[in-house]
Homo-oligomer: A and B are copies of this chain.
Amino acid sequence: MKIGIAGYGNLGRGVEAAVTNAKDMELVGIFTRRDPASVKPATDTPVYGFAALNGMEDEIDVLVLCGGSATDLPVQTPEFAARFNVVDSFDTHANIPQHFANVDAAAKAAGTVGIISCGWDPGLFSLARLYFSAVMPEGVDYTFWGRGVSQGHSDAIRRIPGVADARQYTVPVPEALARVRAGENPELTTRDKHTRECYVVAEEGADLAAIEQAIVTMPNYFSDYDTTVTFISQEELDAEHKGLPHGGSVIRSGRTGLASEFADTLEFSLDLDSNPFFTGSVLAAIARAAFRMSEEGKAGAFTILDIAPAQLSPLSKDELLAHIV
Interface residues of A in 29-81 (CB under 8 A from B): 42-43
The interface residues of chain B lying within 8 Å CB-to-CB of A271 are: 183, 264-266
Closest B residue to A20 using CB positions: B258
The interface residues of chain B lying within 8 Å CB-to-CB of A178 are: none
CB distance from A113 to the nearest CB of B (A): 14
- Select A96's contact among B14, B261, B321, beta carbons within 8 Å: B321
Does A267 touch B at the CB level, under 8 Å? yes
Residue interface bits A294-325, CB-to-B below 8 A is 1, else 0: 00000000011111111011110010111011
Residue interface bits A262-299, CB-to-B below 8 A is 1, else 0: 11111111111110011011100100100000000000
Does A137 touch B at the CB level, under 8 Å? yes
Binds B, one of A121-129, A157-165, A191-199, A202-210: A121-129
Contacting pair B262 A16 (CB below 8 A): no
Contacting pair B137 A22 (CB below 8 A): yes
Work out how many copies of this chain go into the complex: 2
The interface residues of chain B lying within 8 Å CB-to-CB of A134 are: 285, 288, 309, 312-314
Does A135 touch B at the CB level, under 8 Å? yes
Closest B residue to A101 using CB positions: B321
Contacting pair A324 B129 (CB below 8 A): yes
- The complex places the Cα of A146 from the Cα of B184 at a distance, in Å, of 21
- The complex places the Cα of A136 from the Cα of B124 at a distance, in Å, of 12
Closest B residue to A134 using CB positions: B312
Contacting pair A273 B281 (CB below 8 A): no
Contacting pair A136 B278 (CB below 8 A): yes
- Select A321's contact among B18, B127, B303, beta carbons within 8 Å: B303
CB distance from A10 to the nearest CB of B (A): 12
The interface residues of chain B lying within 8 Å CB-to-CB of A304 are: 309, 325
A contacts, CB < 8 Å to B: 14, 16-18, 20-22, 42-43, 93, 96-97, 100, 117, 122, 124, 126-131, 133-138, 183, 256-258, 261-274, 277-278, 280-282, 285, 288, 303-310, 312-315, 318, 320-322, 324-325
